[in-house]
């Protein structure tokens, strides 16, 4: 006959709030001497079937006694294994739910300010405008300024203005440039777009169409303002339009730093240079071309993006 572990009488409370769960001293109710149906336990081959029936009966009785008892001040005090089972089940539900431990964001966004992680830089706002000028045009001398406005992340539109003078004559320029950024964005990347620029000259005399000697600053920087030089050499106004390809770099040094927004851009212009109006005091004997045609040119600007 199987020996069953005994439990303490309900009138004698345990000295500890929870019984220690060990294989030989758990707090299950003491079974009767006979089997659960009042018969003598079988012997021999039928013993294993009797044992499985006894186990099922004991399990059902233990689950029924998990409910709180009115004669004990602590729920599950005499059933620590049942309490441990409930705790493990609750923890598994919290772990697998995935969202049970996430904090709830309050409805008022002003009252919820998440802490900034240490060691991470705050993302800076995108630039809206790039203000640049061409230092190479100063060799004419000509002040050439470009104001590029952000339309989208991949598109910018620039207004170009120029004003200067040479050999007593004056020159003014006004143009538009639509720049796309197939690689990168307005904050820096590959530039590909279209441009259109007009040149207006005022030439008081025939000397205003002549050139300085080779090696002067005016002749050295001519590839940057070829459109102005060809128009001046012919004594006529001009319209220049075509395509551009280049690059733009915007330094992002963080908020509050002076170098933040420093901008450098440059590239290549290729377009048709059309001479307009009647010739005035020209053309110059040093002019390499006296009619309209395609014209290559370089561009390079520096400035700031805001």
Give per-residue pLDDT as tens, 257-292. Answer: 677 889 999 999 999 999 998 887 878 888 888 899
Extents of the domains making up the chain:
1-101, 129-305
Structural element, H or E, at residue 133: strand 129-133
Q: 191 in helix, strand or coil?
A: strand
CA separation for the pair 251, 187 (Å, rounded): 9
Q: 12 to each of 23, 32, 71, 268, how far by Cα in Å?
A: 22, 21, 12, 99
163 within 8 A of 171, measured Cβ to Cβ: yes
Q: Which CATH number does 129-305 carry? A: 2.40.160
Mark out the alpha helices in 147-255 (DSSP H runs): 217-220, 226-234
Q: In the prediction, which pLDDT does 221 show?
A: 85
Q: In the prediction, which pLDDT does 288 show?
A: 83
CA separation for the pair 81, 51 (Å, rounded): 22
Strand partners, 170: 165, 202
10-residue mean pLDDT profile of the chain (306 residues): values are 52 46 48 51 52 54 53 54 68 53 50 51 75 94 96 96 92 97 95 97 89 75 89 93 96 69 95 91 83 94 94
Q: In the prediction, which pLDDT does 278 show?
A: 86
Q: In the prediction, which pLDDT does 222 show?
A: 85
The token duo for 112 is: 């919820």
Q: In the prediction, which pLDDT does 86 show?
A: 67
Strand partners, 200: 172
């Amino acid at each position: 006959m199987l020996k069953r572990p005994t439990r303490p009488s309900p009138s004698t409370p345990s000295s500890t709030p929870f019984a220690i769960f060990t294989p030989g001293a758990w707090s299950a109710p003491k079974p009767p001497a006979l089997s659960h149906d009042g018969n003598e336990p079988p012997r021999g081959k039928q013993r294993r079937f009797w044992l499985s029936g006894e186990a099922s009966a004991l399990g059902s009785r233990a689950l029924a006694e998990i409910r709180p008892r009115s004669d004990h001040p602590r729920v599950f005090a005499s059933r620590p294994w049942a309490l441990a089972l409930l705790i493990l089940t609750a923890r598994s539900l919290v772990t697998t739910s995935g969202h049970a431990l996430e904090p709830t964001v309050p409805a008022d966004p002003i009252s919820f300010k998440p802490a900034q992680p240490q060691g991470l830089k705050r993302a800076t706002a995108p630039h809206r405008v790039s203000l640049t000028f061409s230092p190479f045009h100063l060799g004419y001398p000509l002040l050439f300024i470009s104001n590029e406005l952000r339309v989208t992340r991949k598109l910018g539109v620039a207004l170009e203005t120029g004003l200067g003078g040479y050999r007593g004559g004056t020159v003014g320029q006004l143009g538009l440039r639509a720049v796309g950024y197939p690689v990168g964005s307005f904050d820096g990347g590959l530039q590909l777009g279209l441009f259109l620029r007009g040149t207006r000259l005022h030439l008081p005399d025939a000397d205003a169409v002549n050139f300085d000697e080779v090696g002067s600053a005016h002749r050295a920087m001519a590839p940057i303002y070829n459109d102005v030089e060809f128009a001046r050499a012919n004594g006529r106004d001009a319209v220049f339009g075509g395509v551009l390809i280049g690059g733009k770099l915007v330094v992002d040094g963080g908020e509050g730093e002076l170098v933040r927004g420093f901008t450098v851009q440059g590239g290549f212009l290729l377009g048709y240079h059309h001479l307009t109006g009647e010739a005035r005091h020209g053309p110059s004997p040093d002019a390499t071309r006296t009619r309209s045609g395609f014209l290559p040119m370089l561009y390079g600007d520096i400035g700031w993006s805001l």
